[in-house]
């Protein structure tokens, strides 16, 4: 098992593998290579029932991480274990 150290402004959210940057106000996905990729923001739309936020996949099911939830996320210290091999 390997451990990934993230910069101090990244905070884990309720779904594993996703991290919120408190300064940039963006959600990132942690890939198995150890790279962080920014996710696309989904704006509210009158044609659907989505609120503003980020659409993520959790065990193959699409979920929404809303703006309301992300506003409540605070900085905390966390150690995140990562399974598998990391590329060097």
Dihedral of alpha carbons 52, 81, 75, 9, sign: negative
User: Given this model, what pLDDT does residue 20 score?
Assistant: 93
Matching residue, tokens 């098992």: 1
Per-residue pLDDT of the chain (88 residues; tens, 9 = 90+): 566 777 788 888 999 889 999 999 999 998 888 788 999 998 888 766 667 889 999 999 999 898 889 988 887 655 555 555 555 4
Residue 73 burial (C-beta neighbours within 10 Å; 0-12, 13-18, 19+): middle
Contact between 27 and 54 (Cβ < 8 Å)? yes
Distance from the Cα of residue 37 to its chain's centroid: 9
Per-residue pLDDT, 1: 58
- What local confidence, expressed as pLDDT, does residue 48 receive? 63
Contact (Cβ atoms closer than 8 angstroms) between residue 21 and residue 74? no
């Amino acid at each position: 098992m390997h451990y990934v150290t993230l910069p101090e402004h990244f905070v884990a959210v309720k779904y594993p593998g996703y991290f919120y940057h408190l300064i940039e106000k963006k959600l990132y996905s942690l890939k198995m290579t150890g790279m962080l990729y920014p996710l696309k923001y989904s704006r509210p739309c009158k044609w659907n029932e989505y609120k503003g936020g980020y659409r993520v996949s959790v065990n193959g099911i699409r979920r929404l991480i809303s703006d309301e939830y992300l506003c409540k996320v605070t900085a905390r210290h966390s150690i995140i274990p990562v399974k598998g091999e990391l590329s060097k």
